[in-house]
Chains A and B, each alone.
Chain A
């Protein structure tokens, strides 16, 4: 959570009034055959968005797999990435450019753990701006008996369009039942 958000909450507690943080939509994955989910009609009257993800993939191997996301159905090579990943042994740093989607962290598979979910807290800043590129930051991680990962990453989307749709998949593998994707608006 950002200092910005903490500041908003402090203002609210001091009598600022109104809601600064609203739940907009939650997608609960009930089956094991869904390979993608999307927030299709994102309201344009907030300053920032937060997405909270708890998910795992259906696959007969340990994985992990990556949560991939794109904006406004844009699969052109418009995405850039910087990330730090710790796996319990070392920390690695990677960069990517001209990607066709965004990397929002690793999640485990059903095979690796029947009960552990990978989680991400994603923040999209000034998502309605048509004057600058959209930046995203992600805190992600999971731990189970086979492997573990914690990561900090930031993505950049090059077009200067307001974001009206966000789509997700998990390296094209089915998303497990019990997974959820929640969207919040921040004033």
Chain B
């Protein structure tokens, strides 16, 4: 095969797209032709070198901007759909029809009732669609938050926590991920942020349960303090026992002990 034909195949060789038969011919030529071999070596070298160019990460602001844009677009779409659903499809004047006979009048009334019911059903279906869209974006955000909470970078996990605060009704998976972060995250800032985020959902029985269990596991005074506040706000009576157990602990700092005692008093009012 001619050198020219072989050189035409260099790009496919570089991306590993040569068929086995073509690759065998190619290899045989390269082994025998020093000029093509030398050119291929130079091209391969620079092609491989390009791999050292690092893949950069965009800033966190990009993701926030995207979700804001998407929600704005969705809101606009929903507004349009609601408007379209309310707009009559056709119009006519009732004066155009004059029904004199009672039987016709009755039939016309029945038609109008049926049309009204159908219209109402259509509107409620449209409303259902709007709320379904909102639920889906909500669930997408929830998934995002859970995925961010599993990242190795603590700043990503912090962002995951902040995402949960934008959820109106987080799913159990999101709440579990927050409780897990509160219990196990190696970074105290993430644990603290998780405690703050759970404040919004402290009325959820499973969150209450998780907070009670977490109190015994926490060693950082900052997180202990945040949890005491949370339990007091949630008016969870079982917290009294949990706070007493905390006070009985050996390593507890005096200021936290004081706060826990105050918490017991507030819960007993």
Q: Do A and B interact? A: no
